[in-house]
């Protein structure tokens, strides 16, 4: 199995001749569509949006990621033995914050900085790009380490946007190459089973095969994995979980809050809009983040593309 395919961990319930199949445990990303889909959704959401200019730039960045994903050379992923060892130890196969990166990720970053982004680039982004071009290999790798460990200095926030974008392409390509049948969910169900990163958002599906199931989408490698609904993805409790949304909104994006750990995460509902995209819709609903934060909840984890100056 390759990208876009699923780990065969679902099982039939009821009559197998006409029964309903349980949701697949995880779905690997498809690099050929992941970034193009986000770009298209950002462009659609930007129309009439108060932050239209910024969303359009983020759409161009996603388009650039799509171009880089299509031209990046093949990446050597972990061996089957290494995959099986990680799964047996109940660890993420790619271990985003520990795995030695292939230098090819920096080639992707160079493409993002030198021509892949089409159109006008905002002045702050231009300065961040210039600072990255001036850095040597060790400095770039150090910034990547800082990002993956969640410790980016505020002075590097702008530069980290492009490092994050390049690492998203790199890890998405890596995750797509994994042997899906060998993968399993982690004991920490709120973390990506492939790279161990946090989700950017969850999607409540409306497609016939998985209708009503919730899939969390990895903020780094774009793997999607099934997570039971009405349970906090941060602490695993259910008693204090509630949904909040912007009054008068479409209902397609809601904040799932937890009064036990005082965190929230965003949930997207295909029943309200079949075109929702976890990466794009999260960026376009910062107003919801502000409202929920003002009410006392903290986001479960940051969006890696929101580290901007």
pLDDT, one tens digit per residue, over 65-79 is 999 999 988 888 899
Model confidence at 9: pLDDT above 70:
no
pLDDT above 80: residue 276? yes
Q: Tell me which residue of 97, 145, 135 sits closest to 113, measured CA to CA.
A: 135
- Specify the pLDDT at position 292: 96
Higher-confidence position of 52 and 96: 52
Question: Is residue 193 assigned to a domain?
Answer: no
Q: Provide the 3-class DSSP secondary structure of residue 20.
A: strand
Q: Are 38 and 277 in contact (CB under 8 A)?
A: yes
Residue entry with tokens 């650039």: 64
| pLDDT surpassing 50 at residue 5 | no
Q: Is the confidence at residue 3, as pLDDT, over 80?
A: no
- Is 94 within a domain? yes
CA dist 118 and 115 (Å) reads 7
Q: Does the residue 280 lie in any domain? A: no
**Does the pLDDT of residue 118 top 90, yes or no?**
no
Structural domain includes residue 255: no
pLDDT per residue as tens digits for the range 214-271: 999 999 999 999 999 989 999 999 999 999 999 888 899 999 999 999 999 999 999 9
- What gap in Å lies between CA 116 and CA 118, rounded to an integer? 6
Report the Cα 301 to chain-centroid distance in Å.
Answer: 11
Into how many domains does the chain fold?
Answer: 1
CA 16, CA 13: separation in Å to the nearest integer? 7
- Domain presence at residue 59: yes
Asked whether residue 192 is assigned to any structural domain, the reply reads no
The residue among 134 and 3 whose pLDDT is bigger is 134
Predicted confidence at residue 307, as pLDDT, reads: 58
Q: How far apart are the first and last CA of the chain?
A: 40
Kindly report the backbone phi and psi dihedral angles of residue 178, in degrees, each rounded to the nearest multiple of 5, phi listed first: -70, 155
Assess if residue 281 is contained within a domain. Answer: no
pLDDT (0 to 100) of residue 150: 87
Please report the DSSP string for 45-63 in residue order. Answer: HHTT-TTHHHHHHHHHHHH
Q: Please give the residue that has the higher pLDDT: either 115 or 81.
A: 81
Checking if the pLDDT of 108 tops 70, the result is: yes
Mean pLDDT in residue range 18-35: 84
Whether 189 contacts 181, CB under 8 Å: no
Q: Indicate whether 300 belongs to any domain.
A: no
**Structural domain range at position 65:** 32-176
Contact 293/302 with Cβ under 8 angstroms? no
Q: What is the pTM of this model?
A: 0.91
Greater confidence (185 vs 20) lies with 185
- What does the pLDDT read at residue 208? 63
What confidence score (pLDDT) does residue 45 get?
Answer: 97
The CATH number linked to 68 is: 3.90.1670.10
* Contact between residue 64 and residue 118 where contact means Cβ atoms under 8 Å apart: yes
Q: pLDDT at residue 11 above 70?
A: no
């Amino acid at each position: 199995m390759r990208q876009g395919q699923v780990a065969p961990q679902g099982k039939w319930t009821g009559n197998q001749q006409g029964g309903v199949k349980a949701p697949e445990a995880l779905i690997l990303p498809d690099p050929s569509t992941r970034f193009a889909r986000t770009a298209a959704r950002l462009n659609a959401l930007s129309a009439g949006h108060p932050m239209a200019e910024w969303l359009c730039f983020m759409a161009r960045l996603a388009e650039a990621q799509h171009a880089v994903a299509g031209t990046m050379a093949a990446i050597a992923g972990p061996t089957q033995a290494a995959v099986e060892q990680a799964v047996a130890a109940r660890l993420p196969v790619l271990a985003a914050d520990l795995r030695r990166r292939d230098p090819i990720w920096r080639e992707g970053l160079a493409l993002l900085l030198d021509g892949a982004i089409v159109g006008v680039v905002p002045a702050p982004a231009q300065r961040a790009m210039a600072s990255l071009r001036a850095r040597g290999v060790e400095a770039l790798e150090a910034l990547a380490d800082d990002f993956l460990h969640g410790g980016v200095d505020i002075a590097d926030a702008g530069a980290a946007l492009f490092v994050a974008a390049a690492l998203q392409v790199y890890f998405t390509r890596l995750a797509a190459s994994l042997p899906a049948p060998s993968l399993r969910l982690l004991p920490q169900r709120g973390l990506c089973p492939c790279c161990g990163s946090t989700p950017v958002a969850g999607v409540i599906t409306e497609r016939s095969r998985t209708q009503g199931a919730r899939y969390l989408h990895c903020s780094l490698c774009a793997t999607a994995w099934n997570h039971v609904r009405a349970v906090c993805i941060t602490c695993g409790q259910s008693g204090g979980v509630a949904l909040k949304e912007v009054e008068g909104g479409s209902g397609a994006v809601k904040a799932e809050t937890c009064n036990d750990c005082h965190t929230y995460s965003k949930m997207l509902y295909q029943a309200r809009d079949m075109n929702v995209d976890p990466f794009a819709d999260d960026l376009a609903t910062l107003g919801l983040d502000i409202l929920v934060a003002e009410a006392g909840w903290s986001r479960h984890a940051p969006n890696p593309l929101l580290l901007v100056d």
